[in-house]
Structure 1
Amino acid sequence: MFILLAILIRALTLPGSLDGMLFFINPDFSKLLNGQIWVEAAFVAFNTLGPGWGGLMMIGCHNKFNYNCLKASLISSMAVLLIGLFNGLVVFASAGVMAHEAEVPVDSVVTSGGFSIGFVSYPKALSFFPLPQAWCVLFYLVLILPGIDSLTVMMEPFLLVLEEMFPKFLKNKRIALLAVTTIATFIIGIMFVTQAGGYIFILGIWYIGTWNIVLICLLEAIVFGWVYGCNRLDKDIQMMLGRPIPAAVRICLAFIIPIFLSTLLTISLATYRTPTFGEYDYPGYAAAVGWCITLSTLTPGIGYAVYTLATQKGTIIKRFKTSLRPTNDWMPAKADCIESWKKDNYHNSRMSWRQMFLYNLKGRSRNSASSTFTMEEQDSLKMYT
């Protein structure tokens, strides 16, 4: 933040910076009618906030049982939004300075996303500073440190999955596993510093964090909202926080998110185009490689689903229904809550699709007797939040 603030202050002392900032806060609203703009904005939001990658779930599993995750998610999301807006002001202030020197419109300076921002706009802005080499070192150090931090969050779920899949071989061998994984990712990353690195980077960004992540989040919303059910999720949250899910969150989970993500996937696939990098259009085989990358992230989940169905007994319909139910190990992590949870467990909370729809839409009535917690129990739970 201090580096960004220093860049902004320096940019404001140069001609053209205000033009760039005005260009940022006065967008062309007619472009909002373009569906592709919404698709790309949604993909950027997914990559920025990080849902569907597994890292947020991994961090959440280390929280206390009664940790107020809703408040934390709102605070972190607002922080990301505000930092993004501030970052946009800095970028376009720098772009305005460059546009003034080149005597060209501001929109012709920054023509692509984060790649050009990190390696074109900011280095150019730092060239106006005294001792620009030192500022560039500090700036890229600022880029590297959050990059390592975010990579740690993304890598930890992968390591945990390996440890749970092969407990006999990997038990108490985290250092060796981390060393092998680090070396492997380092070797893979060498291709990004070659002359074709920029093209490979754009190809990966185009396919890795787009359709697959949106599809994963869509399935998560359907599973929690309709398979497991907001009624059971309500009771679980009430056990943890002493109150049910807010109505806005429940409606978003059950209706708005599935509809929005389904529409997003439909529009993005209907308007699909091969990636571009500047004036370079990627050939057909590059697009095929990209789709293989997309499918590679979905294959393990699909394969495990097929394996689960194959190992169940009965007809295919019975296997499917059984596979959608939690196992006997599914219960609260806090031992004091297990008995209370068993009073109204998964099997005693089944609803028809009509009942589920009405519950997801209206929620539990205040006078409902289906709650398994007395007022005294709820008051005691609120002490932890």
Structure 2
Amino acid sequence: MGPVLLPGLVPAYSPLDHVQKPLEHGNCLQYLSTDRNLTWSNTSTSPAEEFYMRQVLQVNLSPGLHQLGSVSWQLALCLLLIFTIVYFSIWKGVKTSGKVVWVTATFPYLVLLVLLVRGATLPGAWRGVVYYLKPDWGKLLSTTVWIDAAAQIFFSLGPGFGVLLAFASYNPFHNNCYKDALVTSSVNCLTSFLSGFVIFTVLGYMAEMRQVGVETVAKDAGPSLLFIIYAEAIANMPAATFFAIIFFLMIIMLGLDSTFAGLEGVVTAMLDEFPQMLSKRRELFVLGLVCVCYLGALSTLTYGGAFVVKLFEEYATGPAVITVVFLEVIAVSWFYGTTRFCSDVHLMLGFSPGLFWKVCWVAICPIFLLFIIVSFLAFPPEVKLFDYQYPPWTTVLGYCIGVSSFICVPAYMVYHMLSAKGTLKQRFLKGITPVPSGPHSDIIITNAI
């Protein structure tokens, strides 16, 4: 009958096992034992992990970044379907995507509430809740925690991506953006807090099943937490099929919602910059943009695509976005000026921001963001995924990828300094002096003066 193991366990493996032995079917064993004295060990591998790693990602077929392997046609077709849905959701503008967002934005909340109720009724759920709510104050001394926290809040709220600016440009001039900002930030933080309960009730349940600590189950974050740990927990629940369907529908909706916003930010910016050229060719431009994004994502669909995603995650996402926001804060609060900016707000809303916001814009935000950037440069992350240790050359590659996200900003500054007329001081002052533009610019500049 073959090996007899604890239900839920299979022999441990390394992502590089294929160097010694080729991938074979049947590595994920079924369990016939009823001996509950066997325990989960650190080298145990679940069927969910075997399926995700070897069948979905097929990461065992790639030794690392130096040899990614071919593109997985199954993943390529799935991504093609996703981008097709994205295209037909945004090709007509915000009127179309706005209707789609009513579904993609509200459905996850319903699923979260259902999963929260289900998770709270699982045995051992309280262990996960206690672990979630019990703070570890020593972590505050780690710069990695602050970088991860800043990256998370930027990704969830969207500053630095141009998404907020793009959607705000469709609002009326006197729209109460102050209230919108407070409501959006509050809802975002409360949603993240609620999601924590949904995740950790299930992690407590998994810890109870495996008879280990919650910290052992929760050691892997990101895709592994969603597609391995949570998927395995759902598979062991009653009515597993129903919960699995709604859970992965929620994940797809969240991904679509984020993609809508990100692409709409690019589309709106390009249409505003080149209205005569692109306004009547929006469908073709969106199609071209979607095709470029799809082709760019093919590297993440290779057998070693997980290594590429991890490299982007560490270097090209969080630190790059934080740097972009830092440049935006400096440009608005120091060069444009808080006085002029507050006059803009007063013209739109009828009141000016208080002293607290001014101090945040001028000092607190720039200092905090600069601290995170310097910490990241001084202590680059030691990237490791599964049993694969990233070689030193990937650090240089990661920095190059991250810098490419905002290189246009300093490049244009240099171009402006070289192309402008006058002395060096005159060119510099001209470069940091706001230029009126837009239907309300004259009123704004007059009020600021």
Residue 433 (structure 2) pairs with residue 325 (structure 1): yes
Deviation (angstroms), 1:96? 0.9
| Deviations 1:78-108 (CA, angstroms, capped at 9, x unpaired) | 1111111111111111111111111111101
Structure 1: distance between partners of 2:436 and 2:353: 25
| Deviations 1:192-249 (CA, angstroms, capped at 9, x unpaired) | 3332222211111111222221122112112211211111112111111111112211
Change (3 A) 1:295 1:233: same
Equivalent pair of 1:331/1:341 in contact (CA under 8 Å): no
Within 5 Å, give how 1:159-238 maps onto structure 2.
159-163=267-271, 169-238=277-346
Equivalent pair of 1:91/1:121 in contact (CA under 8 Å): no
Change (3 A) 1:11 1:344: closer
Deviation (angstroms), 1:9? 2.4
Equivalent pair of 2:167/2:265 in contact (CA under 8 Å): no
The residue type equivalent to 1:34 in the other structure is S
Residue 104 (structure 2) pairs with residue 7 (structure 1): no
Residue 200 (structure 2) pairs with residue 92 (structure 1): yes
Structure 2: distance between partners of 1:2 and 1:160: 30
Structure 2: distance between partners of 1:341 and 1:36: 41
Match of 1:40 among 117, 125, 148: 148
Equivalent pair of 1:308/1:323 in contact (CA under 8 Å): yes
Equivalent pair of 2:314/2:381 in contact (CA under 8 Å): no
1:129 matched residue in structure 2: 237
Change (3 A) 1:194 1:135: farther
1:376 matched residue in structure 2: none
2:30 matched residue in structure 1: none
| Deviations 1:168-215 (CA, angstroms, capped at 9, x unpaired) | 653411101111221222233233333222221111111122222112
Residue 228 (structure 2) pairs with residue 120 (structure 1): yes
Q: Give the secondary-structure state (helix, strand or coil) at the position aligned to 2:433.
A: coil
The residue type equivalent to 2:177 in the other structure is C
Q: Give the secondary-structure state (helix, strand or coil) at the position aligned to 1:227.
A: helix
TM-score, length basis structure 2: 0.71
Equivalent pair of 2:160/2:321 in contact (CA under 8 Å): yes
Change (3 A) 1:165 1:8: closer
Change (3 A) 1:189 1:149: same
2:247 matched residue in structure 1: 139
Structure 2: distance between partners of 1:70 and 1:95: 38
Structure 2: distance between partners of 1:85 and 1:341: 39
Match of 2:139 among 27, 31, 43: 31
Within 5 Å, give how 1:267-346 maps onto structure 2.
267-329=375-437, 332=440, 338=442, 340-341=443-444, 343-344=446-447
Equivalent pair of 2:307/2:385 in contact (CA under 8 Å): yes
2:363 matched residue in structure 1: 255
| Deviations 1:262-298 (CA, angstroms, capped at 9, x unpaired) | 1121222222123222332211232222222111111
Q: Give the secondary-structure state (helix, strand or coil) at the position aligned to 1:44.
A: helix
Structure 1: distance between partners of 2:156 and 2:337: 28
> 147-156 or 28-37: which moved more?
28-37
Match of 1:79 among 172, 175, 187: 187
The residue type equivalent to 1:284 in the other structure is P
Residue 268 (structure 2) pairs with residue 156 (structure 1): no
Deviation (angstroms), 1:137? 2.7
Deviation (angstroms), 1:49? 1.6
List runs of 5+ in structure 2 lacking aligned partners: 1-108
> 252-261 or 126-135: which moved more?
126-135
Structure 1: distance between partners of 2:244 and 2:389: 31
Deviation (angstroms), 1:13? 2.6
2:100 matched residue in structure 1: none
The residue type equivalent to 1:49 in the other structure is L
Equivalent pair of 2:128/2:204 in contact (CA under 8 Å): yes
RMSD: 2.1
